Amino acid sequence: MPASTKTRKILLVVFMATAVAMLAFADVRKGEYAPSQLGSLQQSTTPELTPDANFAASAYPVPALDLAPGDGVQEVRIYCNTCHSPRYVTMQPPLPAATWEAEVNKMNKTFGANIPVEDSRKIIAYLQEHYSTGARH
Amino acid sequence: MTIREISRRALLNRMGLASVAIGVGAWPEIFPALGQGQDHEKPIESFTGPGPNPHWNSIGPYISEPQKAPLILLTDRPVQLETPREYFQTVFTPNDAFYVRWHLSGIPNAVDLKTWRLQIEGNVNRPVALSLAELVRNFKSVSVAATNQCSGNSRSRLQPRVPGAQWGNGAMGNAMWTGVPLRELLDMAGVREGSLEVQFQGLETGPGPNGYPSNLFLKSLELSNNVIDECVVAYLMNGEPLPMLNGFPVRLVVPGYFATYWIKCLTWVRVLSAADDNFWMKTGYRIPDTPRGNTTPEEMKSGNIKTLPIGRFPVRSFIVSPGGDSKLIPGAPVSLRGIAFSGYGRIVRVEISDDDGRTWSSTALGEDYGPYSFRTWSSSWTPKSAGRYSLAVRATDSKNNGQLDQPIWNPGGYLWNRVERQEFIAGEAS
C-alpha cells in the first residue's frame, strides 16, 4: 500500500537522522571544575567505578587565587574567567605594558572575547599596573 | 638543661624552627659533628622574570588532579601541569606523572563509550564510525615508543620572556603507545582523490563563539607527509588506558612531532580537499623559517620573517640526577643519569663536559626503544676537589643533528634546545 510505504520511508528517515545525531553528539560530560579550598595540599579520592560504559574522572580542582587588589580586578575576574582562570595572568613573567595590551586585544579580536571597550581599557590598565615589568614584586 | 632538652632544641634548630630561642654557641661542644642547618625555610618565588626562570621545572605549587600524581600546577582551568624532574629517571614516564596541556576549558570529565565513536569523515568514499571496542578488537594493534613534548617546553628560558605557559623542562614525556595505525583507518574510509590534508578534532571545546579558536582546537597534517604512515590512534599508554587528562579514550600519536598535533580525546578525523586555514594552523604554533627557528623581536616586527607550522622537535638532552640539591664529596664518584631524544632520528651519542664545553666525554647509552623514544644515558663523574662545578650535556642523533650552546628566541617560545647545564657544589671532606 502506497500510504504505508510512505510512512515507513518517513520513519526510516527520522530513525536515520536520530542515529546520525547520536553519533555526532556522543555522551560526554566536560568542563566540570570545582573550587578547591586546600588546592595543592589535599589528596583527592578515587571516585566509585562501575562496570558500565561510562568512563569518568572527578571534577578538576580550581584552588583559590589571590589577584593583586586594585581597580579592574573585578573586570578581570568576570571577563577573563569566562574562558580561563586568572591563573593565566599570575603565571606570566612580568611583561612589557605593550604586551599586556596586545594580549587583551588578541583575546577580543582573535579569540572573540568581545569585552566592552571601557572594560577592556580597565583590564589593560590593571594588568599593566600590577603585572608588568618593574611593577611586580 | 638536660642533654635530652638540648638535643631536642638542636634538632629544632636544624629544622629551622628555634634559631632565635636557643643559644647556638653551646651545642657544638656536645655534638661536634653536627653542622649548621639553614635558619629558615625558603619558599620558591611566586613568579620568575624578567630574567630566565633559573629552576629546572616551573615554579607552581603541586596539585592533585584526577588520575594523576601530584604535579606542578601551571594553570587549573583549562588544566596545564608539569612533570617534576625526578620522573625522568626512567625511560618511560609514568602515566600518572605525565604532563598535561589543554587549550580550552571544556575538558571531558566523563565519556560514555556506548555513544562515543571515532569518526573518519570528510572527503572520503565511505565515512566510518568505530566504537572503542571495534578499534581494540577489529584491528591488529601496533606499539611505538614515542616522546611527547609540548611546543613550548622550556619557554620560561627565553630572553626576552614571551607570554604563554611558562614551562620549565617538564612539558615532555615518553610512553609506549598502543593502538591502530592511522593509515588503516584512512584506507578503510577511502581517501578521495584530490584530498590535501587530514584534520584532527578531539572532544575539547571552549566557551568562545563558533568559528573562533576559543571554541575548537583543530590541527591538520598534509596527506603527503610521510609521518601519516607512522601515526597511531592510541588507546593504551604504557599498557594502560589513557588518563582522562592525557586524552582518554584515544589520542593521536605523531612520532617525532611536537605534541600540538597529538590530539587528545580524538573523535573526528576529517579529510580535507583544501588547506586548513583555521587559527591553530594558520596563525598559532608557527615558527620562523630560520636556522633553529631563531630570530629577534626586531626582525619579527620588520615583517620580513616567513613562518611555518611547527613540526618535528630538535635534539635535546638533560641531566636528570643528581639535581644539584645535595653537595658532592671530593674524590667520590657520582653516577650521572639523564635522557636524550630527537624528532629527527635515534640518539647515537650523549656527551658531558665539566670544562665549559672545551672537552667532551661520551656516556653510556641505555636500551634503544626506537628512533622516537627517550634514550637514557649514564656516566660516572668525580669532583676532584671542593668547589663549584658546571656540567654540560649534549646529544647527537643519527642524522648528525647536535645541540648548540647559544640560546634562541622566537615570539611563540618554541624549539628551545640549547645545551643544558647543571651546577654542582663539592664540599670540603675534611
Domain of residue B368, CATH code: 2.60.40.650
B280 and B204 part of one domain:
yes
Whether B267 maps to a domain, the answer reads yes
**CB pairs below 8 Å between A and B: how many?**
177
Q: Select the residue from B45, B58, B64 to test the A interface by mutation, using most A Cβ atoms within 10 A.
A: B64
Q: Is B165 on the interface with A (CB under 8 A)?
A: yes
Residues B263, B203: Cα–Cα separation, whole Å = 9
Q: Select the residue from B65, B77, B128 to test the A interface by mutation, using most A Cβ atoms within 10 A.
A: B77
Whether B264 maps to a domain, the answer reads yes
B115 and B186 part of one domain:
yes
Chain B, window 269-328: residues with a beta carbon less than 8 angstroms from a chain A beta carbon? 279, 283
B100 and B173 part of one domain:
yes
How far B73 CA sits from the closest chain A CA (Å)?
Answer: 8
Higher pLDDT, A45 or A129: A129
pLDDT at A107 over 50: yes
Do the Cβ atoms of B207 and A82 come within 8 Å?
Answer: yes
| Residue the block writes with cell 576549558 | B105
B275 and B320 part of one domain:
no
Nearest residue on chain B to A84, judged by CA atoms? B77
pLDDT at B425 over 60: yes
B238 and B380 part of one domain:
no
Q: What is the mean pLDDT of chain A?
A: 86
pLDDT tens for each residue of B92-145: 999 999 999 999 999 999 999 999 999 999 999 999 999 999 999 999 999 999
For residue A37, with 0-12 CB atoms within 10 Å meaning exposed, 13-18 middle and 19 or more buried, which class applies? exposed
Q: Select the residue from A40, A42, A78, A124 to test the B interface by mutation, using most B Cβ atoms within 10 A.
A: A40
pLDDT tens for each residue of B268-287: 999 999 999 999 999 999 99
pLDDT of residue A1: 42
B363 and B231 part of one domain:
no
Chain B, window 24-53: residues with a beta carbon less than 8 angstroms from a chain A beta carbon? 46-50, 53
The grid coordinates listed for B77 are 582551568
Residues A51, B286: Cα–Cα separation, whole Å = 44
pLDDT at B35 over 90: no
Interval B375-399 mean pLDDT: 98
Domain ends where: B284, B304, B333?
A: B284
Interval B31-35 mean pLDDT: 73
Q: Report chain B residues whose CB lies below 8 A from the CB of A55.
A: 110-113, 241, 244, 248-249
Name the residue among B63, B163, B267 with its Cβ closest to that of A40.
Answer: B63
pLDDT of residue A12: 65
pLDDT at B27 over 70: no
Do the Cβ atoms of A90 and B129 come within 8 Å?
Answer: no
Higher pLDDT, A49 or B392: B392
CA A100, A103, A105: angle at the middle one, nearest 5?
110
Can you give the residue range of the structural domain that contains B397?
A: 316-426
For position B190, which CATH number holds?
A: 3.90.420.10
Do the Cβ atoms of A27 and B115 come within 8 Å?
Answer: yes
pLDDT at B85 over 80: yes
Give Cα separations from B285 to B65, B164, B311 (angstroms): 27, 12, 9
B347 and B275 part of one domain:
no
Do the Cβ atoms of B109 and A27 come within 8 Å?
Answer: no
Prior bond of B249 cis (ω within 30°) = yes
Whether B248 maps to a domain, the answer reads yes
**Cα dihedral B82, B88, B90, B92 sign:** positive
Q: Report chain B residues whose CB lies below 8 A from the CB of A91.
A: 47, 60, 74-75, 165-166
Beta bridge partners of B319: B338
- Tally Cβ neighbours within 10 Å of residue B122: 19
How far B279 CA sits from the closest chain A CA (Å)?
Answer: 8
B327 and B421 part of one domain:
yes
pLDDT tens for each residue of A66-93: 999 999 999 999 999 999 999 999 999 9
Residues A83, B215: Cα–Cα separation, whole Å = 10
pLDDT at B70 over 70: yes
Do the Cβ atoms of B110 and A29 come within 8 Å?
Answer: yes
pLDDT of residue A41: 63
CA B405, B411, B412: angle at the middle one, nearest 5?
90
Q: Is B159 on the interface with A (CB under 8 A)?
A: no
Residue type, B94: P
Do the Cβ atoms of A33 and B76 come within 8 Å?
Answer: yes
User: Are B386 and B269 within 8 A, CB to CB?
Assistant: no
pLDDT of residue B42: 76
Whether B196 maps to a domain, the answer reads yes
pLDDT of residue B34: 79
B128 and B263 part of one domain:
yes
Whether B16 maps to a domain, the answer reads no
Lowest mean pLDDT among A6-15, B62-71, B350-359: A6-15
pLDDT at B38 over 80: no
Lowest mean pLDDT among A11-20, B9-18, B22-31, B38-47: B9-18
Do the Cβ atoms of A93 and B50 come within 8 Å?
Answer: yes
pLDDT at B312 over 60: yes
pLDDT tens for each residue of B328-338: 999 999 999 99
pLDDT at B244 over 50: yes
How far A111 CA sits from the closest chain B CA (Å)?
Answer: 5
pLDDT at B14 over 70: no
- pLDDT band of residue B3 (cuts 50, 70, 90) is very low
B330 and B280 part of one domain:
no
Residue type, B148: N
pLDDT of residue B39: 65
Spell out where chain A has E strands.
Answer: 28-30, 33-36, 54-56, 60-63
Do the Cβ atoms of A110 and B46 come within 8 Å?
Answer: no
pLDDT tens for each residue of B165-202: 999 999 999 999 999 999 999 999 999 999 999 999 99
Nearest residue on chain A to B268, judged by CA atoms? A24
Name the residue among B112, B156, B213 with its Cβ closest to that of A110.
Answer: B213
pLDDT of residue B114: 97
Whether B207 maps to a domain, the answer reads yes
pLDDT of residue B20: 45
Domain ends where: B267, B284, B301?
A: B284
Interval A50-60 mean pLDDT: 94
Q: Report chain A residues whose CB lies below 8 A from the CB of B45.
A: none
Q: Is A16 helix (H, G, I), strand (E, B) or coil?
A: helix
B241 and B107 part of one domain:
yes
pLDDT at B75 over 50: yes
How many domains in chain B? Answer: 2
Whether B410 maps to a domain, the answer reads yes
Nearest to B56 by CA among B87, B79, B96: B87
B261 and B357 part of one domain:
no
Q: Say which residues have a Cβ less than 8 Å from residue B28's Cβ, sequence separation at least 6.
A: B34
How far A2 CA sits from the closest chain B CA (Å)?
Answer: 32
How far A121 CA sits from the closest chain B CA (Å)?
Answer: 19
pLDDT of residue B17: 46
How far B294 CA sits from the closest chain A CA (Å)?
Answer: 20
Whether B75 maps to a domain, the answer reads no
pLDDT of residue A93: 98
Q: Is B116 on the interface with A (CB under 8 A)?
A: yes
Q: Percentage of chain B with pLDDT > 90? A: 89
How far A118 CA sits from the closest chain B CA (Å)?
Answer: 20
- pLDDT band of residue A53 (cuts 50, 70, 90) is very high
User: Are B387 and B428 within 8 A, CB to CB?
Assistant: no
Interval B30-45 mean pLDDT: 74
Q: What is the mean pLDDT of chain B?
A: 93
Chain B, window 330-369: residues with a beta carbon less than 8 angstroms from a chain A beta carbon? none
